[in-house]
């Protein structure tokens, strides 16, 4: 269960409304949420659960949305400054407390990060708080910054 996979930790976070794509499936508090497409923010803010190939991560689901329809409005915690930090699960890769950190990484699923991948650089791993090893079934945990936001990519309306 993804409950609280990610949660705001430091900095100024805003609670914003978005429209959930009808095919998104159930959303749980703490899931990472992405733009449905680059043009979505300019039109009606349509979002979905974040995937490994996400164009931009808008933020973190603020509550559960189990029975959504095509026009369900959801609330997301959105970083309001580049230095905002969140605590999140490490679902893939090797993460050692005290030695790993200060590096970009990708999301693995909407429920966690892949700290060994840095192809798209969705997140920045500030530091590891709970260690994990490759293939381990218990996820690790770290402090992250969302670095592929619509605002930082120039996709948001000014």
Model-level pTM?
0.89
Give the rounded percent of residues in the chain with a pLDDT score beyond 90. 56
Token pair of 83, please? 């230095």
The pLDDT, as a whole number, for residue 158 is: 42
Domain boundaries, the chain: 6-79, 85-146
Is 94:100 a contact under the CB 8 Å cutoff? yes
- Copy the structure tokens of residue 35: 């733009």
Q: Are 58 and 35 in contact (CB under 8 A)?
A: yes
| Cα–Cα distance measured from residue 123 to residue 86, given in angstroms and rounded to the nearest whole number | 10
CA angle 126, 24, 27 (to 5 degrees): 55
> pLDDT tens for residues 22-69?
666 788 999 999 987 655 445 557 888 999 998 899 999 999 987 666
């Amino acid at each position: 269960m993804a409950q609280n996979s990610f949660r705001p930790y430091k900095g100024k976070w805003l609670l914003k409304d978005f429209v959930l794509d009808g095919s998104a499936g159930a959303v749980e508090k703490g899931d990472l949420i992405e733009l449905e497409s680059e043009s979505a923010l300019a039109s009606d803010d349509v979002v979905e659960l974040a995937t490994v190939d996400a164009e931009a991560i808008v933020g973190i689901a603020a509550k559960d949305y189990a029975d959504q329809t095509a026009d369900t409005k959801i609330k997301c915690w959105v970083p309001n400054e580049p230095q905002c930090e969140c605590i999140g699960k490490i679902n893939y890769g090797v993460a050692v407390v005290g030695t790993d950190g200060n590096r970009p990484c990708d999301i693995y699923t909407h429920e966690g990060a892949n700290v060994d991948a840095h192809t798209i650089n969705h997140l920045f791993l500030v530091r590891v708080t709970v260690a994990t090893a490759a293939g381990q079934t218990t996820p690790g945990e770290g402090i992250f910054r969302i670095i592929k936001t619509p605002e930082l990519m120039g996709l948001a309306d000014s």
